[in-house]
């Protein structure tokens, strides 16, 4: 009989100096940094499970994770206790006790990622968080190509070195490309993402926006039977990528209503 409580955390991090979320021996990762801080408070914590395994260099506004502990400290106190221990590039935003049936990864129904393109001269005050391009992109062409991605498709062409027999079918709820000041933001909500998928979608749409890939290529990229001879989209740098939030429950609301931070 377990006497442990399950604690759910919402975590924000600047991914620049992390080798991604997932613990790897000898590397500075978000998971291991977080685990070290949690274990300074409760050494009965063995594992911290995250909703998304973000790439090296990618950021997160609202990564979700959970762990089990018998420590009786009140649930909201985890925020300040952990933030006092964590380094400057990672901080807990929220903590909550949840039932044992909650699992940050397996119960997640939707993940919302943003990719930011900054157009013009490189600006150091934002270039940690955006991919800078010297020339403008064709927003209309990008939007047209983006719409073909919505729904349930085989995203094999947007994955890295995936064996042909792997299941690369994923469902995207919405794909939105828009201009925000002198930036272009690509917002995608999907049930799950294959490794590198988000950065290859951003790459493919950038190619369309630059006129180096025809829009008509996009439907072909999604058809399993047309894999032969497909020219895969480029993978863009992780610095432009941010996991905005993770949603649970069967009926996802519009993600744009979820947080005022998202429109900054």
Provide, rounded to whole angstroms, the least separation between the CB of residue 11 and its own copies: 9
Q: Distance between CA atoms of 157 and 203, rounded to whole angstroms? A: 12
Provide, rounded to whole angstroms, the least separation between the CB of residue 122 and its own copies: 4
The full DSSP string for the chain is ---PEEEEEEEEE-GGGSS-SS--TTS--HHHHHHHHHHHH-TT----EES--PPTT-EEEEEEEEEEE---S-TTHHHHHHHHHS-TTEEEEEEEEE-TT--TTTSEEEEEEEEEEEESS--TTTTTSSEEESS---HHHHHHHHHTTSEEEE-GGGSSS--TTS--EEEEEEEEEEEETTEEEEEEEES---TTHHHHHHHHHHHHHHTSS-TTHHHHHT-GGG-TT--PPPPPPGGGEEEEEEEESSSPPPGGGS-GGGG-
The footprint of its own copies on residues 86-145 (CB under 8 A) is 88-93, 121-125, 127-129
Provide, rounded to whole angstroms, the least separation between the CB of residue 155 and its own copies: 27
Q: Which of 23, 79, 150, 222 binds its own copies (CB under 8 A)?
A: 79
The full DSSP string for 63-86 is EEEEEEE---S-TTHHHHHHHHHS
Q: Distance between CA atoms of 145 and 183, rounded to whole angstroms? A: 19
Residue nearer to its own copies on the CB measure, 13 or 255: 13
Q: Distance between CA atoms of 93 and 252, rounded to whole angstroms? A: 21
Task: Show the binding pattern over residues 183-222: x = contacts its own copies (CB under 8 A), - = does not.
Answer: ----------------------------------------
Provide, rounded to whole angstroms, the least separation between the CB of residue 217 and its own copies: 31
Q: Which residues pair with 65 in a beta bridge?
A: 9, 50
Number of residues that bind its own copies (CB under 8 A): 27
Answer yes or no whether residue 264 interacts with its own copies by CB under 8 A. yes
55 is catalytic: yes
Q: Which of 14, 43, 44, 55 is catalytic?
A: 55
Residue nearer to its own copies on the CB measure, 17 or 44: 17
The footprint of its own copies on residues 235-254 (CB under 8 A) is 242
The footprint of its own copies on residues 3-62 (CB under 8 A) is 12-14, 59, 61
Answer yes or no whether residue 150 interacts with its own copies by CB under 8 A. no
Provide, rounded to whole angstroms, the least separation between the CB of residue 220 and its own copies: 36
Q: Which of 27, 46, 77, 83 binds its own copies (CB under 8 A)?
A: 83
φ and ψ at residue 91, rounded to 5 degrees: -155, 140
Provide, rounded to whole angstroms, the least separation between the CB of residue 106 and its own copies: 27
Residue nearer to its own copies on the CB measure, 61 or 221: 61
Residue nearer to its own copies on the CB measure, 129 or 193: 129
The residues annotated as belonging to the active site are 55
* Binding region for its own copies (CB under 8 A): 12-14, 59, 61, 79, 83, 88-93, 121-125, 127-129, 181-182, 242, 260-261, 264
């Amino acid at each position: 009989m377990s006497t442990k409580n399950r604690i759910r955390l919402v975590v924000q991090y600047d991914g620049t100096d992390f080798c991604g979320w997932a613990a790897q021996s000898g590397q500075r990762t978000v998971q291991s940094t977080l685990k070290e801080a949690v274990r300074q408070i409760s050494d009965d914590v063995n594992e911290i499970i995250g909703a998304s395994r973000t790439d090296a260099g990618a950021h997160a506004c609202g990564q979700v994770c959970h762990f089990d502990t018998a420590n009786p400290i009140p649930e909201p106190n985890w925020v300040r206790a952990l933030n006092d221990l964590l380094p400057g590039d990672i901080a807990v935003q929220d903590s909550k006790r949840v039932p044992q049936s909650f699992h940050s990864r397996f119960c997640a129904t939707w993940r919302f990622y943003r990719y930011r393109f900054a157009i013009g001269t490189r600006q150091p005050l934002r270039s940690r968080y955006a991919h800078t391009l010297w020339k403008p992109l064709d927003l209309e062409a990008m939007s047209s190509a983006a719409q073909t991605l919505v729904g349930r498709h085989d995203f094999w062409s947007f994955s890295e070195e995936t064996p042909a027999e792997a299941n690369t079918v994923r469902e995207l709820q919405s794909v939105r490309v828009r201009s925000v000041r002198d930036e272009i933001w690509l917002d995608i909500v999907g049930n799950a993402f294959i490794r590198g998928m988000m950065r290859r979608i951003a790459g493919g749409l950038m190619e369309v926006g630059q006129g180096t890939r025809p829009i008509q290529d996009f439907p072909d990229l999604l058809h399993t039977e047309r894999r032969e001879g497909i020219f895969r989209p480029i993978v863009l740098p992780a610095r432009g990528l941010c996991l905005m939030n993770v949603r649970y429950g069967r009926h996802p609301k519009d993600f744009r209503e979820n947080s005022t931070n998202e429109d900054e």
